[in-house]
Structure 1
Amino acid sequence: MEYQPGVCNIGPTQQRRRLLLGVGSLALAAVFVAAVVALAWPQWSLALSVFPLYGAAMGWLQYRERFCIGFAGIGVFDVGEGTSEVVDEAALAADRKKAVKLNAKAAGIGVLGTVLVYGASVVIV
């Protein structure tokens, strides 16, 4: 696997870490929603599920795209041979542009998931 600016900045090991982040965040979201329902917390508190749902989307997107937004932000990559610095300014700009897009996608998915959770709670309860 090779570093490709704006396309791929993590290898298989880092991808697995992002997948675990996504799965763990999704599990946290499920536990949170179950707690809100089981403990009869105010329905508005379901809006807080946006945070773990955003984390789940972020982990999944980074895994799928083989791209870490955090690495792009600090100007590094790790495709399997350890962390290396991005020295080319054009490559760094391409990485950061992709990071902004992935972050926006994850935020959108998190918000959509929250709307669906809240909507389902209105219908069910």
Structure 2
Amino acid sequence: MEYQPGVCNIGPAQQRRRLLLGVGSLLLAVVTVAVILAMGWPRWTLIASLFPLYGAAMGYFQYRERFCVGFAGIGVFDVGDGTNRVQDEAALEADRRRAVRLNTKSLAVGAVGSLVIYGVSLVVL
């Protein structure tokens, strides 16, 4: 595997870490919803599921797209041979543009997911 600016900045080991982040965040979202419902808190508090759902989406997208938003932010990559610095300014800019797109997409998925959870609670409960 090779580093490709704005396309791929992590290898298989780093991908697995992002997948675990996504799964853990999804489980946290389930626990968050369960606790809110079990405690009888107001339904609007279900919107708090946005945060772990955002984390779940971020983990999944980073895994699937072989791209780490955090690495792009600090200007590094790790495709399997250790962490290396991005030397080229154009490559760094491409990575950061990609990071913004992934972050926006993850936030949108988290927001839609939390609104769906809230909407379902209005219909079902």
Place the TM-score, normalised by the shorter chain, in its bin: over 0.9
- 1:83 aligned residue: 83
Query: 1:121: Cα distance to partner?
Result: 0.4
Deviation digits for residues 55-109 of structure 1, max 9, x if unmatched? 0000000000000000000000000000000000010000000000000000000
Give ranges in structure 1 of 5+ residues lacking alignment.
none
> Within 2, Cα distance between the matches of 1:61 and 1:90?
23
Instruction: Find the residue that maps to 2:9 and give its secondary structure.
Output: coil
Listed as ranges, the matches of 1:72-111 within 5 Å are 72-111=72-111
Give ranges in structure 2 of 5+ residues lacking alignment.
none
TM-score by length of structure 1 reads 0.99
The Cα RMSD (Å) is 0.5
Query: 1:44: Cα distance to partner?
Result: 1.1
- 1:41 aligned residue: 41
Query: 1:37: Cα distance to partner?
Result: 1.1
> Within 2, Cα distance between the matches of 1:51 and 1:102?
15
Kindly report structure 1 stretches of 4+ aligned residues shifted beyond 2 Å: none
> Within 1, Cα distance between the matches of 2:77 and 2:114?
32
Aligned residue identity for 1:55: G
TM-score by length of structure 2 reads 0.99
Instruction: Find the residue that maps to 1:97 and give its secondary structure.
Output: helix
